[in-house]
Amino acid sequence: MLVIGLQGSPKKSGSCDHLLKKFLMEIEKTGAEVQVLDIARMNIRPCIGCGFCEKEGFCVIDDDDMAGVVYKALRQAEVIVTASPVFFYSVTAQIKALIDRAQAFWSRKYRFRLSDPLSATRKGFLLSMGGSRGKKLFQGVHLVATYFFDAIDAAYSGSLTYPGIEIPDDFKNIPHLAQEVSEAAHALMSSLCHRKRIRFLGKHDDIRSQMAGALMQYHAGNRFCVETAGIDPAQEVHPAVTATMAEIGIDMAFCKPRKYDAETADEQAELIIAMGDDVEIPAESEARIRVWDLPDPHPATKDTVVRLREQIRDNINQMLILENADRRK
């Protein structure tokens, strides 16, 4: 389970960075994987308002860190923590550039009518602070966060905002700050940490396991923490998968195959499902293992991928029926 922190302040080791680190340290205690993107020190070009994403579903700018890193990270994460100080009653220019480029996600959601597989479970959280104490100090920041989280299919799940903060030492004047941060972080993660952990294991993690993971996330992400991996992962998800899943309204853009690491991957997995008998099953795994009798789809055609999608859907529906029966016992 991946949690992404977006550090939006241009100040190194400033109050924003200080609060984000405290918050993410508490999240790490829940067992989640945490990554921080230092937005102010990344190459993220601003939106040029060309409308390309509303026609094609992707941003026309394809040679910066937004294209190379951020889109994939936002799609992979189950929780996004956005941290920004207040600059002129809004977020910083650096993180606003990222938010504006999220128009590509907005377009895929509202123009192309596609749903992110994690749309039912992804959460967004806001951290902000400002030097003044005006009554409307955080009004603009909350509004920006509301529409950003909507575009990336994350439920706006809370915020911590602090007026009168210029430097990290100013936080010392806030009573019970540590308790407040801890309680907010653990509350944010509470519904995600007690799910069963399942891993779909493929040969290349570009077709079968990717579709299985997306379908399970989409239909039962509230009950399963889902990962996919490949023994010998491909560079990209097969384009036929993106097209085939889009036909049933599920968006696979920006997904990335991942390598199976036998030494660390099974620490918390309760169930590994190998996609077929061509997938080498890890002998040292302590997780339960099932094998689905799905053929190796390579070389893949559109018809092959459609048939696999329907087989995988049937398998997942059967799994969920059995799971529901077990829960009723």
- Same domain (yes/no): 291, 319: yes
Instruction: Look at residue 298 in the predicted model and tell me its pLDDT.
Output: 84
Instruction: Look at residue 261 in the predicted model and tell me its pLDDT.
Output: 74
- Same domain (yes/no): 209, 291: yes
- Same domain (yes/no): 131, 263: no
DSSP, collapsed to helix, strand or coil, labels residue 250 as strand
Predicted TM-score (pTM) above 0.75 = yes
- Same domain (yes/no): 220, 180: no
The domain spanning residue 272 has which CATH number? 3.40.50.2300
Mean pLDDT of 18-26: 96
Helix axes 177-189, 15-28, angle to 10 degrees: 50
The domain spanning residue 54 has which CATH number? 3.40.50.360
- Same domain (yes/no): 204, 287: yes
Confidence of residue 267 (pLDDT cuts 50, 70, 90): low
- Same domain (yes/no): 155, 49: yes
Last residue of a domain, one of 189, 206, 237: 189
- Cβ atoms within 10 A of the Cβ of 102, count? 22
Last residue of a domain, one of 150, 169, 189: 189
Mean pLDDT of 64-73: 95
Task: Look at the chain and report how many structural domains it folds into.
Answer: 2
Instruction: Look at residue 311 in the predicted model and tell me its pLDDT.
Output: 94
Cα distance between residue 246 and residue 262, in whole Å: 32
Range of the domain at 309: 196-328
- Same domain (yes/no): 169, 256: no
Instruction: Look at residue 134 in the predicted model and tell me its pLDDT.
Output: 85
Confidence of residue 201 (pLDDT cuts 50, 70, 90): very high
Q: What is the pLDDT of residues 127-146, one digit of tens each?
A: 999 988 888 999 999 999 99
- Same domain (yes/no): 68, 165: yes
Give ∠ CA 270-275-279 in degrees, rounded to 5: 100
Mean pLDDT, the chain, rounded, equals 91
- Same domain (yes/no): 35, 163: yes
Torsion over CA: 239, 251, 222, 1 (sign): positive
Mean pLDDT of 267-294: 79
- Same domain (yes/no): 43, 185: yes
Helical segments of 129-225, H only: 139-151, 177-189, 208-220
pLDDT value at 265 more than 60: no
Instruction: Look at residue 271 in the predicted model and tell me its pLDDT.
Output: 85
- Same domain (yes/no): 222, 165: no
pLDDT value at 266 more than 90: no
Q: Which of 110-114, 272-276, 292-296 has the highest mean pLDDT?
A: 110-114
Last residue of a domain, one of 121, 155, 189: 189
Radius of gyration of the chain (CA): 21
Cα distance between residue 329 and residue 315, in whole Å: 22
Instruction: Look at residue 268 in the predicted model and tell me its pLDDT.
Output: 62
- Same domain (yes/no): 201, 59: no
- Cβ atoms within 10 A of the Cβ of 159, count? 16
Q: What is the pLDDT of residues 299-324, one digit of tens each?
A: 888 899 999 999 999 999 998 888 77
